[in-house]
Amino acid sequence: MRKFFRERLPGREGVLQNRWLKPVRHWLQHPNLWHLNRRSVAGGVALGLFCGLIPGPFQMPTAALLAMWLRVNLPVALATTLYTNPFTIVPLYLLAHRIGLLILGVSDQTPVADFPQLNWKNGFEQIWQWLATLGEPVLVGLPVLTIGLSVIGYFAVRFAWRLAVQWKWYQRAKRDSSRH
């Protein structure tokens, strides 16, 4: 698993040399922010899943700040926030709406307005108005969905990492036993 992430994520030195990061470079020096181990990667995935449902352009800055504070893998946290995009955000918010309806015990009789046709001038305003029609169920369901995705992501990464390590141990033992 470590090799997979090393090949796809930017290195510590490359990021620290970025001139735009000079004001916060001292915060980025902590080794846990760049360490590829089961705990830091699982924490980064959980944090990215948590911050991915934050509205608007605040996902990555929030993920970066929380990764520095919690000392989890920063590149993984930032990359994981990208699971929300224009194609996935609407289904995720509708899922949050369903979860909110279940928690509130409200029947699904209230019609949900159709997703608006977006244009460049007032696309965010239209999305905000559409979300307002979803109302209280989204406000209840979104935190539950966010926490649920984070917990599932954390334990899924830890489990997958453990399986990968056990598979390597098994392959090594098999190779060593065939030599004798």
Question: Which residues have C-beta within 8 Å of that of residue 140, sequence separation ≥ 6?
Answer: 99, 100, 103, 104
> How far apart, in Å, are the Cα atoms of 23 and each of 16, 27, 70?
11, 9, 20
Q: What's the pLDDT score for residue 15?
A: 65
Q: Model confidence over 31-73: pLDDT tens digits?
A: 788 888 999 999 999 999 999 998 878 999 999 999 999 999 9
3-state secondary structure of 31: helix
Q: Is the CB of residue 47 less than 8 Å from the CB of residue 63? A: yes
* E strand map for the chain: none
What is the C-alpha to C-alpha distance for residues 155 and 16, in angstroms, rounded to an integer? 30
